[in-house]
Amino acid sequence: MRVLVTGGAGFIGSHLVDALVARGDEVVVLDDLSTGKRENLATVADRVQLIVGSVTDRDAVAAATDGCAVVFHQAAIASVPRTIEAPVETNAVNFGGTLNVLEAARAAGSRRVIFAGSAAIYGDDAPLPVGEDAPLSPLSPYAVEKLCAEHYVRVWAPLFGLETVSLRYFNVFGPRQDPRSPYSGVVSIFVDSLLRGEAPTIYGDGEQTRDFVAVDDVVRANLAAAAVSAPVGLVCNIARGEATSLNRLFATLSSLLGGPAAPRHAEARAGDVRHSLADVTRARDALGFVARTPVEVGLARLVEWARGVRGRAGADPGSG
Ligand code: UD2
């Protein structure tokens, strides 16, 4: 089967590409390499067609979608603070880019679009664990963009007969998540700091919680979403259904990596939600998906990978 992965050179997208290639799919990747990297596709480069282009470029999206039965739309500027700084730019990618993908899929006669949504859309008001039918109250441009995009994805199903699945990712972590940007995910930032023997910074008191899910599980969720029979606008949380505080995350990573005994603290970040925890019942019932990798196991694998990168790069993971 010919499939498209937008953002396929990125953190989650490249792991998905690996899995699709391994099962024998013909994979097209559309990625503007703004945060994605060619090296993420190094082991599958000869079996993947990489189109360097943005989801904001309608011609590039149309060319990439041509002949693809399934589109995994992973491309996004995936950062709450970045969207606060530059909402017009990020809206064009996160919202406008999704609309371009839907239109291209319709024109190409694709059967299904799987959309990378976000738990950020729930905000702080919903009772925990949060189910998909909970009230939505986005707190950041990022959350608004992901929510608007998800609405488009949902209505494209009944309007145009496109099968769509929106996966509301909670906090995904794992190898290839870039640590060297203030916009990176907290797990990769903490691992990077501790490997360099520096104390990471916790914004706020560290008692905020997240539902961390390993990237290999997120890949399995995408494959399940592609396989499930005839979904019409299905929306599912993708998480473990388990809350971990940032203080706990720090403690686990410092026991794996050693380094400073205490983190630094700074003011809580604007637009942050306090607690995030998923009800994962629908993912289990509708997709047959249950996350398998315990957080500690995923963290241990990530640490092993990051040490390897650091070793190969001569003790500088940023250049590796
Ligand atoms: C949001 C979404 C998540 C995903 C992500 C994309 C929620 C609950 N989650 O993640 O689903 O879409 O955006 O980027 O909205 N932090 C520190 N120190 C650091 C970096 C972060 O303390 O150096 C804190 C940060 O203030 C927050 C937590 O760690 O409380 C997680 O931050 P993050 O940027 O990894 O992800 P988050 O939850 O904004």
pTM of the model: 0.96
What would the pLDDT profile of 141-154 be if each residue is shown by its tens digit? Answer: 999 999 999 999 99
Residue 61's pLDDT is what? 98
Ligand 1 pocket, mutate which of 210, 240, 248 (most atoms under 8 A from CB) = 210
What would the pLDDT profile of 204-224 be if each residue is shown by its tens digit? Answer: 999 999 999 999 999 999 999
* Tokens linked to 53: 């282009």
Of 121, 72, 114, 131, residue with least CA distance to 282 = 131
Assess whether the C-beta atom of 277 lies below 6 angstroms from ligand 1: no
Residue 316's pLDDT is what? 53
State mean pLDDT over 154-166.
95
Domain parsing of the chain, residue ranges: 2-173+214-240+279-292
In this structure, which residue's CA is closest to atom 2 in ligand 1?
120
Mean pLDDT of the chain: 95
Distance 186 CA to ligand 1 centre (A): 6
* Tokens linked to 308: 């390897």
Residue spans of beta strands (DSSP E) within 67-125: 70-73, 112-118
Q: How many residues does the chain have?
A: 320
Residue 253's pLDDT is what? 97
Q: Does the pLDDT at position 319 exceed 50?
A: no
State mean pLDDT over 182-204.
93
Kindly list the catalytic residues. Answer: 142
What would the pLDDT profile of 84-138 be if each residue is shown by its tens digit? Answer: 999 999 999 999 999 999 999 999 999 999 999 999 999 998 999 999 999 999 9
Helices vs strands, H then E, count in the chain: 11, 13
Distance 187 CA to ligand 1 centre (A): 9
Residue 320's pLDDT is what? 35
Residue 250's pLDDT is what? 97
Class of 2-173+214-240+279-292 per CATH?
A: alpha beta
Atom of ligand 1 at shortest range from CA of 208: 30
Confidence at 184, pLDDT banded by 50, 70, 90 = confident
